Amino acid sequence: MKALEADANKPAEKRKAEATALKDQGNQAFKKSNYTRAVELYTQGLERLKDFVVLYTNRAQAYNKLGKFTEAMEDCRTALQLEPNNVKALVHLGKAQQGLKDYEVAVTTYKEITKIDEKYESKVAGYIAEVNLAESAAKSDMEAERLLSEGDVKATGVHEIGLGDGKQKLCHNYQCR
């Protein structure tokens, strides 16, 4: 409550200017892949202006980069409470859900974007393809781990993805055949 009172005592323009400056600094840190610093700066901006939606979405993006998917989801949900049709919040929410391996929910979240604006259809298709690839990779890894635990030492985590006319294998975690 004291934070809200302090906000009310500062002129709105000054709080907005301070929050914007911190957002810009956070964006610079993000561009340098300093995601922890970006989170700190976005948080400082939110301390000055609690309803600055872009700070929530930017911080969510940085949290996703840090693998802090639960925190990213919280920021996205706050942004969506403030702006229900915020596409950026939905994108980062979907990425956080994918990071938590909640693939079906991530796809549903991405589909919400096209309900807001159909111009995002191709982007959404790409996001959904990423989710499907991640889900396939996770299933392949689980199967490879199962086979390894049963003594099949040549079990692999291999995924084929279409690239142009050919296919490319992505191998990870285990020996590729």
Q: Which of 28-37, 49-58, 98-107, 144-153 has the lowest mean pLDDT?
A: 144-153
pLDDT average, residue stretch 92-116 = 97
- Per the domain annotation, does 84 fall within a domain? yes
- Which runs of E-coded beta strand occur in the chain? 157-163, 166-172
- Per the domain annotation, does 160 fall within a domain? no
- Whether 9 has a pLDDT exceeding 70, the answer reads no
C-alpha 30/C-alpha 37 separation (Å) is 8
Over residues 114-152, the pLDDT tens digits come to 999 999 999 999 999 999 999 998 888 787 778 777 876
- Per the domain annotation, does 74 fall within a domain? yes
Total domains in the fold of the chain: 1
Domain hosting 63: range is 2-116
* pLDDT on residue 171: 43
- Per the domain annotation, does 23 fall within a domain? yes
Spatial CA neighbour of 62 closest among 27, 111, 97, 94? 27
- Per the domain annotation, does 67 fall within a domain? yes
- Per the domain annotation, does 62 fall within a domain? yes
Residue 42: give its domain's CATH number. 1.25.40.10
- Per the domain annotation, does 140 fall within a domain? no
DSSP symbol at 33: T
Q: 17: part of which helix (H) or strand (E)?
A: helix 12-31
